[in-house]
Structure 1
Amino acid sequence: MDEGNSSQKVEVESAYEVLISFEFVFILHFVNETMGITDKLCQALQNQSQDILDAMHLVSSTKKLIQQFRDEKWDDLLATVISFCKEHGLDFPDMNARYVARFGRSRHQQEDFRNEHYYKVDIFNAGIDYQLQELNHRFSEHVMELLTLSSALDPREAYESFRVSDICSLVDNFYPIDFTDDEKNDLKKELDLYKYDVVQHLGFKNLKNISELCQCMVRIRKSEYYLLIYRVIKLVLTLPVSTATIERAFSTMNVIKTDLCNKMEDEFLSNAMMLFIERDIAAIISMDSIIDDFENLKRRRVPFS
């Protein structure tokens, strides 16, 4: 056997040892369980039309389930992993024995450091705490307050209990520069009338989300009478609950700004990214209309047509 094949054989054997190790099996089962809890939330947040109220409830529910998994499911997870190892003839350690790292150097030097402590504290608890930390970072108390106050406009909630104070707080706390002091006072008066006029409208109780409420107000011409409330609704509809657009922007940047095109200015890059991200819309714009618009920007020495 030549040196190249021998080296590959050593790498394969090393990889195989890792794959059949208890630590690897434990981590796979742990990731499978945690991803099962967060999967619905991840899918929902990728939806560009995600409803605010649904997102708020889904985030809260996911946090509770993850915390419950941390507090109550350690024994069940460990039993499942050990059962898997027995079924497939894999070795598993004594949880009360002193921990010895099989791969790499151990960070722990204590004589009484047990296997259970390593798997429960360093992997199980640490992994869940990191996920909770990320959720709390992305959906902080400030963000949750914004979503909670915004839910006061949701027709499913408002039909049972319309909260004028929450909508006023929403404007005061999150949209102070979008409304003058006089408009804030007028908004309170609009809301008092809106509570009995629009909320009690026959078609209101059949609405499913804020987007449908906005369309309904236009359809029944209430947007013309409740201009300030309609403005609040439009502002709430622009809340970035979904991260899909941001992620597509970063992916697009890698496609457009290559090694050959790495010196383009910010404005040109932004325009190119917009065309790439919204290419479905750009596809319906005719080339002739683009040429006409470009020609009309200013007078040119050579006419285009």
Structure 2
Amino acid sequence: MELSKYSVCSLLVMFNPARVVLKGIIDDGSCSSQRGDADSAFGYTKSFEFVLILHLMKEIMGITEILSQALQKKSQDIINAMNLVAATKERLSELRNTGWDSLLARVKAFSEKHEVDILDLNALYRSSRYRPRLQDNHVTFEHYYRVDIFISTLDKQLQELNNRFNDQVMDLLTLSSSLVPSKRSKVLNVDHICSLVEKYYPADFTEQERTRLESELELFNIELSKNSKLSGASTLTEVFKVLVETEKCENYNLLYRLIRLILTLPVSTATTERAFSGMKICKNRLRTKMSDDFLAYNLVVYIERKIAEKFDSESVIEDFKLLKGRRVEL
């Protein structure tokens, strides 16, 4: 189950009732595995570290929620979404640099209210991840919680945003939004589009084609003011469909090629998301010891199941027979 800001807030509000329910399952659970899981979960709720992580999740999700919603909207909101990316990065950096003391104060207040033991943060932290030599160097609970949990988590969030929205991605998003007529101005920025095409698609457009593309865009701008179908398109996909339906893709063949190149960009992301979704199904709780190779083979069959359904058993057996000679006929 994916957690959101509201589910984490609900868990904080329902903290004590949730512990009462878990205690009831421990005492009256129908089976030993259910009671064991409840006992393990109840143990986590009594931990100061659990409360700290819960509050940290609430802070991070509160910052990133608006950006997540903006990224799910249509392409005319891409410019606003890019501004939100920069604001989100700045807010996460601000939380990383100056937010530890206020977060710790809220965690302590919550722990006192709900009778969670507050650890002595100046005591030495003992864990297998630190060698005895390092433990002698005063690795305290405060250091572990602040550096290894708080700062490390925020650094990973910032790194993910930087990887997903680097300069190249931001420019390509700008190019995508530039090809969609906005409500305020029904004119495309020809110079801006051509400069981005020259920068990111040098192998797809020759110098002569880039010159022709500029002419196509200028003509396209004139037609936008007269063609209600084109000016009414609110996404890049809709612009592409209108070009095909009105058979203008032949007149604006370079613009058509550019839009097609941009629309194929999300394919790699979609494949990755499908792989992670398939992984949750193929490698479940009962298959935790599955090797990486076996998991990869299963994922290929699951993700590309429409292709796999076309193979019949006889063809698989024949291919298997051709791999090498066998003593027994299959």
Mark yes or no: TM-score above 0.5. Answer: yes
Aligned to 2:100: 74
Whichever residue aligns with residue 149 of structure 2, its letter is I
Q: Equivalent residue of 1:247, what SS?
A: helix
Find the counterpart in structure 1 of residue 145 from structure 2: 119
1:1-305 alignment runs, 5 A limit: 19-39=45-65, 51=75, 54=78, 56=82, 59-93=85-119, 98-101=122-125, 104=128, 106=130, 108-109=134-135, 116-156=142-182, 159=185, 162-198=188-224, 201-240=227-266, 243-249=269-275, 252=278, 275-276=304-305
**Letter in structure 2 aligned against 1:191:** L
CA offsets per residue over residues 141-176 of structure 1, 9 Å max, x none?
Answer: 222222223321122278366211222123222222
Identity of counterpart residues, as a percentage? 42
Identify the residue that residue 292 of structure 1 maps to in structure 2: none
Deviation, structure 1 residue 221: 4.0
**Contact 1:155/1:210 (CA < 8 Å) preserved in 2?**
no
Segments of 5+ residues of structure 2 without an aligned counterpart are 1-36, 313-330
Q: 1:176 to 1:91 in 2, by over 3 A?
A: same
Consecutive unaligned residues of structure 1, counting only runs of 5 or more, are: 1-10, 288-305
Q: 1:57 to 1:216 in 2, by over 3 A?
A: farther
Separation of aligned partners in 2, 1:166 and 1:214: 20
Question: C-alpha distance in 1, partners of 2:100/2:94?
Answer: 10
The answer to whether the 8 A contact 1:94-1:115 is kept is yes
Q: Structure 1 counterpart of 2:258, which letter?
A: V
CA contact (8 A) 1:22 1:93 kept: yes
- What whole-Å deviation, never above 9, does each CA across 1:208-251 have from its counterpart, x for those lacking one? 21111212233444333211112111111111277333232466
Whole-Å separation in 1 of the counterparts to 2:184 and 2:252: 16
Q: Aligned pair in 2 of structure 1 residues 219, 12: CA closer, same or farther (>3 Å)?
A: closer
Which whole-Å deviations, capped at 9, do the CAs of 1:9-55 have from their partners, x for residues lacking one? xx99998665423222212221233234335656787x7x9748536
Compare relative contact order (CA 8 Å, sep 6+) and give the higher one, 1 or 2: 1
Q: Which residue number in structure 2 is paired with residue 302 of structure 1? A: none
Q: 1:180 to 1:121 in 2, by over 3 A?
A: same
Name the residue aligned to 1:298.
none
Code of the residue aligned with 1:176 in structure 2: it is P
Question: In the aligned structure 2, how far is the partner of 1:157 from the partner of 1:64?
Answer: 29
Letter in 2 for 1:276: R
Shift of 1:61: 4.5
Residue 26 (structure 2) aligns with? none
Distance 1:80 1:277 in 2: 51
Number of aligned residues: 261
Secondary structure, in 3 states, of the residue corresponding to 1:243? helix
Q: How large is the Cα RMSD of the aligned pairs?
A: 4.3
Q: Is the 8 A contact 2:123 2:140 kept in 1?
A: yes
Would the aligned equivalents of 2:180 and 2:188 in 1 still touch at CA under 8 Å?
no
CA drift at 1:197: 2.0
